[in-house]
Structure 1
């Protein structure tokens, strides 16, 4: 039996983060796959780097001090709104183009902002790779708050989210405020991308948020089954990453992402 009292605070926070990450992968990840907007995850995560850098600038120059991830959430939300605006006419290519331009613009801003605070650059670049074992209590609190909001919205608007994800025009014909819920889904996906940013890094966010849902979508039938299977795949990947980091000098986030993506490719190959 595992003695929780003997665990370090770093390990306990990492375990809590894995549970929260798995919930985000199950909900936001599944809707990302349903709507086929996986590129938004990468775009939002990298937009968050610019937002975090901007927040650090405000702190360094004594304007206001707050968690850089909040700045990241603001910039990621703008990326989601740009994607939502482009998707009004249902042109998926235009959506991806808008996200791609926002991606490039955000990275340019991130580099520009970092050049203004070179002595603080490590704080921003740390978000590029992330580390589950370096999360603070403040990080966990922010992750928990956003995850709770995600659960509430997903429960309250489950029917609308599913309808809009699979049939936008049908939802509009049915009288659902499709554009409103489309924006809301995209915002939740973007915010989820930022929430897990410090744990796995901007480079691996795509793998941890999308891969479990994509793998579940290959084998499960039915929305709820896909969501629950996504949760367990993300949970398994995350815990395996933490476990292996105890025995080997490896990044738990990188191992978790590698397992999640490997499961996706394995399932895809087995189906053929």
Structure 2
């Protein structure tokens, strides 16, 4: 995993938009959509990039895994996620671990399912990550994730370039074809993707309208100030345009370790 920066104020900012425990859009419904064809009950699950634990709460509470381990490289995120899981009464099922950038700190064939929601965009060396995913999966185990991909012509699209110029985070993004190739070369089988661009374009447009509403706008300005509100709104508008033009392609990823 590669480093990024999610300070407390930024986390509060994101959770104000997407809900406690969620640092990316879609909430519990999108977590379940990612996993809709996966049998989680009784399985061991690894969540890469667990953030503040929202997806881990949903999985542990609603999908009945035997055990869930979430990992992240940001101390504040892990600390906050642990508190969220404890409040939800799920700390006997779910455990969040602070890790360092590099190989996953687990033995070979440790998990039935490796999951990730929207954190792989921060990973530069995706080929190495996919090899690590394969290594820690049990035979027949499944990799299922959502990642932010880009279209092959993204650099030619004004909406996509505007968003890239405004965002404060460092992203490493691939096309669908590049992702499939790297997953396959890493050794994953039955590699498939599910394009979520249309869903996200509609979701992002609704988010902009919410941010422009009087109540949400007032709450945000009271918490962070008008200057921050103006900057945040500009980023979200650009983000919606990046999805609308097809340059930004949120995508579900699926692969399996051979039995």
Tell me the TM-score normalized by structure 2: 0.29
Q: Comparing both chains, which one has the higher relative contact order based on Cα–Cα distances under 8 Å and sequence gaps of 6 or more? A: 1
Relative to the length of structure 1, the TM-score reads 0.28
Structure (1/2) with the larger strand percentage: 2
More helix, by proportion: 1
